[in-house]
Amino acid sequence: MADKKKLLIYAHYYVPDTASTGQILRELAEGMLDTFDITVICVVPSYLGTIEDKYKTQKYYEENINGVKVLRIRVPEFSKTNKMSRIKNILGYFFGAMAATFKVGKQDYVFSISQPPILGGLIGVWGKWMKHAKYIYNIQDFNPEQVLAVGYSKNKLVTDLMMWFDKFSCKRSDLVITVGRDLIDTLNGRFKGKKPKSALINNWIDEKEIYPLESEHPRVKEFKKKYGLDGKFVIMYSGNIGLYYDLENLMKVIEKFKLGTRTADGREVVFAFVGAGSVLDKLVMYKEKHHMDNVVFIPYQAKEDLIYSLNAGDVHWCVNAKGIKGVSCPSKYYGLAAAGKPVLGVLEEGSEVRCLIEDTKGGFCSEPGDYNHVERHIRWFIEYAGSGEVVEMGQRGHAYLMKELTKEKSIRKYAEEILGC
């Protein structure tokens, strides 16, 4: 329709890539098609580092996915454990997206996310300037705060420069949208004087795609059987096995639960990690070194199979490393609540998802670094496995999500905020 405003989204990753931001942006774009004419600039599918041959011959690829115009940029392949190859890949996207901006015509609004760190914001400023458009900066993670929190870089010159650039992106935006009440506090805390216009909109999961299933569902049983989880009590971590989750220390807690540990209702306890990321190899090595045969590593699941893998877990981890409060919000929580699963949270007090878990009594939370407390919570779930109390925890989280955190509700807020900025 001719009267629709044009919206350009810089997505970095987009469907079919399994990055959580790519999934959210796909649903956001498709959900706002009744309001905007939408173009997405992103990389060719490459989230795990490899690229299909069909995406290696041209500089750009134009696609139409469910009514969204998609302009893909060819980037070099990378290894998640090789920092230099990762940097080349990210810069390939950044400069490619700058050039691709000239290929998409007039735009009324430009929308970018905080991925890749710092560059995501800057590419949005570039789009604003080149298209003379309103700019909406969607901050899913704050950097350099995230980098500093986990000690990824101790070079003050680098982190000060990162902060200057990201504050610059915030100041040049017409609206900053972030995903947690603690992230709004971080945004405001960056500025002594005038603060950027901001809005809080929670992330979501498509509750029509992820919902509770019976443990006897054929596809859930098939998943469990395939990975040796059948008949066991599964404590599951699902998602990016990366730097910001303190997973190496949690492995030391898991080590205390030896092979053969059983729940009160007689099931063997198993710890399952579903996903990939930069610390996966370290976790695998730790498992092998310490003979932790009750730990299972499972590859990323296709989006359409996520419902079965999430429902295969009896309890799910939702974790962040210390210092991540106000910096990042673990969006995986929404999938866990949608599947009606109790949550084993390792999250700082006052962080968005910990507030949601505690407000709904949908699980237990410990402070990051308080490993004795984490261990006690695991033991509680083992002791009460199969009880109504555990089931009701998951049901409470699910009920709140269906009332307050649906996909439709969040996407409607995005459209309203963008039009109003």
DSSP state of 376: H
How much is the pLDDT for 302?
Answer: 86
Which amino acid, residue 339?
A
- 78's CB contacts (< 8 A; 6+ apart) are 46, 49, 85, 86, 88, 89
Q: Which tokens is 323 given?
A: 């210092």
Q: What is the pLDDT along the chain (421 residues), one digit of tens a residue?
A: 458 999 999 999 999 987 878 888 999 999 999 999 999 999 999 988 999 999 999 999 999 999 999 999 999 999 877 889 999 999 999 999 999 999 999 999 999 999 999 999 999 999 999 999 999 999 999 999 988 887 777 789 999 999 999 999 999 999 999 999 999 999 999 998 899 999 999 999 889 999 999 999 999 999 999 999 999 999 999 998 988 889 999 999 999 999 999 999 999 999 999 999 889 999 999 999 999 999 999 999 988 999 999 999 999 999 998 889 999 998 899 999 999 999 999 999 999 999 999 999 999 999 999 999 999 999 999 999 989 999 999 999 999 999 999 999 999 999 999 999 9
Cis status, amide bond into 116, omega within 30 of 0: yes
Determine the Cα–Cα distance for residues 120 and 116; give it in Å rounded to an integer.
5
Among 156, 136, 132, residue whose Cα is nearest residue 144: 156
218-404 and 5-204+406-420 share a CATH fold: yes
Q: Which tokens is 279 given?
A: 């610390």
- 301's CB contacts (< 8 A; 6+ apart) are 274, 308, 309
Determine the Cα–Cα distance for residues 406 and 79; give it in Å rounded to an integer.
35
Burial of 266 (0-12, 13-18, 19+ CB in 10 A): exposed
How much is the pLDDT for 146?
Answer: 87
Give the gyration radius of the chain's Cα atoms.
Answer: 21
How much is the pLDDT for 23?
Answer: 85
Q: Which tokens is 168 given?
A: 């610059």
Among 105, 15, 17, residue whose Cα is nearest residue 67: 15
Q: What residue spans define the domains of the chain?
A: 5-204+406-420, 218-404
Q: Which tokens is 188 given?
A: 């405001």
State which fold the 218-404 domain adopts: Rossmann fold (3.40.50)
> Distance of CA 95 to CAs 98, 117, 353, Å?
5, 14, 34
Q: Which tokens is 2 given?
A: 């001719």
CB 132 within 8 A of CB 31: no
CB 32 within 8 A of CB 7: yes
Which amino acid, residue 358?
E
Q: How many Cα atoms occupy the beta-carbon half-sphere of 241 within 13 Å?
A: 27
How much is the pLDDT for 2?
Answer: 56
How much is the pLDDT for 6?
Answer: 98
Determine the Cα–Cα distance for residues 302 and 304; give it in Å rounded to an integer.
5
5-204+406-420 CATH pick, 3.40.50.10300, 3.40.50.11720, 1.10.3210.10, 3.40.50.2000: 3.40.50.2000
How much is the pLDDT for 393?
Answer: 97
pTM: 0.87
Determine the Cα–Cα distance for residues 340 and 356; give it in Å rounded to an integer.
14
How much is the pLDDT for 148?
Answer: 87
